[in-house]
């Protein structure tokens, strides 16, 4: 019904669109979708009123780093989207103070919209910002479980899981992650968490994967601290205090900050190869799962209910 209403309104607005240039047209259609169907956008966090305009960079983020991260992600994922018959579009909104990021699909244009406001938030490191881009890519390519069982978008938990299970591993595949983690280890902040690194050493045999796992985990911590700040929670999420709650049915919406940090961490720990793809209907392929008794890297039960996660068509 919603999509029908959107189509009617878009058709009714055609005379106005005809007068506008293509950028204005897109912005107009965007605003219609925003008003009528906010769920058509899949945000990294719930709607909020924070606004971080340019010039308040307290985390060292610059427009250059913002663009470098997105250039890197685009270079790796453009051919992957193309192979799926889609055009990968990154909308860069450096000057926009919104503390969020979105994924949406308009025909075969599969879009992620990235805001400077989120990139400038004090909790966000460049690796945290990479992870946000990978979460949004996860809505497009992350597989089951999907929103409402059959929607186009992977749900929030799955997009988080995919971000470290596949996306960051692909994006950072050519980086010197061992050198990077050694450098991070030597710095006071942001350091590599000792417990997270210990678990990465247990879960992975290859030193390059161990380092990649440590780096991904710290990206997850940056983002989990953002979620904590947005929900004004007094206790910071930690790697060794996993969320103990269990859902009866898989939850599509944004899990609690600790639960999301656990998901990033488990995605990083899973030793399944990055080349084993996920599936749009079956949540098992390409993942660590209870059915195969994997000891590490399982999707946390604080959002994932294994028996209810299959997407039926």
Footprint on this chain of Zn ion (rule: CB under 5 A):
42, 156
Q: How far is the CB of 121 from Zn ion (least distance, A)?
A: 16
DSSP assignment of 222-282: HHHHHHHHHTT-SSPP-TTS------SS---SPPPHHHHHHHHHHHHH--S-TTS---SS-
Alpha-carbon separation of residue 159 from 153, 251, 303 (angstroms):
9, 12, 12
What DSSP state is assigned to residue 89? E
What DSSP state is assigned to residue 296? S
Query: Which residues, in sequence order, are CB contacts of 28 under 8 Å at separation 6+?
Result: 13, 16, 17, 20
Beta carbon nearer to Zn ion, 30 or 193: 30
Q: How far is the CB of 159 from Zn ion (least distance, A)?
A: 5
Beta carbon nearer to Zn ion, 42 or 104: 42
Q: How far is the CB of 152 from Zn ion (least distance, A)?
A: 13
Beta carbon nearer to Zn ion, 177 or 228: 228
Q: How far is the CB of 139 from Zn ion (least distance, A)?
A: 6
Beta carbon nearer to Zn ion, 221 or 263: 263
Q: How far is the CB of 176 from Zn ion (least distance, A)?
A: 30
Beta carbon nearer to Zn ion, 118 or 184: 118
Token pair belonging to 292? 């195969």
Q: How far is the CB of 313 from Zn ion (least distance, A)?
A: 22
DSSP assignment of 145-207: SBTTTTSSSB-HHHHHHHIIIIIHHHHTTTS-HHHHHHHHHHSSTT---HHHHHHHHHH-SSH
Closest residue by Cα to residue 241 from 219, 222, 224: 224
Residue nearest to Zn ion (CB): 42
Beta carbon nearer to Zn ion, 127 or 156: 156
CB environment 64-81: b (16+ within 10 A), e (fewer): ebbeebbebbbebbeebb
Beta carbon nearer to Zn ion, 42 or 140: 42
What are the beta bridge partners of residue 91? 113
Residue 289: strand, helix, or coil: coil
Say how many C-beta atoms besides its own lie within 10 A of residue 156's C-beta: 27
Q: How far is the CB of 303 from Zn ion (least distance, A)?
A: 12
């Amino acid at each position: 019904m919603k999509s029908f209403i959107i189509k009617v309104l878009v058709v009714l607005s055609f005379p106005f669109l005809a007068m506008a240039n293509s950028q204005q047209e897109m912005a107009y259609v965007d605003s219609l979708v925003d008003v009528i169907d906010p769920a058509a956008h899949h945000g990294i966090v719930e709607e909020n009123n924070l606004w971080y305009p340019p010039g308040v960079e307290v985390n060292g983020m610059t427009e250059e780093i913002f663009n470098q991260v997105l250039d890197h992600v685009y270079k790796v994922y453009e051919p992957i989207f193309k192979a799926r018959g889609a055009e990968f579009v990154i909308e860069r909104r450096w000057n926009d103070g919104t503390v969020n990021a979105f994924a949406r699909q308009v025909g075969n244009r599969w879009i992620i919209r990235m805001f400077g406001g989120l990139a400038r938030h004090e909790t966000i490191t460049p690796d945290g910002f990479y992870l946000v881009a990978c979460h949004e890519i996860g809505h497009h390519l992350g597989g089951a479980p999907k929103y409402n069982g059959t929607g186009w978008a992977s749900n929030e938990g799955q997009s988080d899981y995919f971000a470290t299970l596949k996306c960051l591993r692909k994006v950072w595949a050519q980086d010197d992650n061992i050198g990077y983690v050694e450098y991070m280890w030597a710095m006071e902040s942001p350091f590599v968490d000792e417990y997270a690194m210990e678990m990465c050493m247990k879960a992975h045999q290859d030193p390059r994967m161990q380092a990649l796992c440590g780096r991904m985990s710290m990206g997850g911590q940056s983002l989990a601290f953002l979620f904590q700040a947005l929900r004004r929670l007094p206790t910071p999420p930690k790697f060794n205090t996993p969320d103990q709650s269990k859902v009866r049915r898989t939850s599509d919406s944004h899990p609690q900050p600790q639960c999301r940090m656990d998901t990033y961490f488990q995605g990083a720990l899973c030793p399944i190869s990055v080349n084993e793809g996920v599936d749009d209907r079956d949540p098992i392929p390409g993942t660590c799962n209870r059915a195969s008794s994997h000891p590490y890297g399982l999707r946390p039960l604080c959002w994932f209910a294994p028996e209810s996660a299959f997407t039926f068509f």
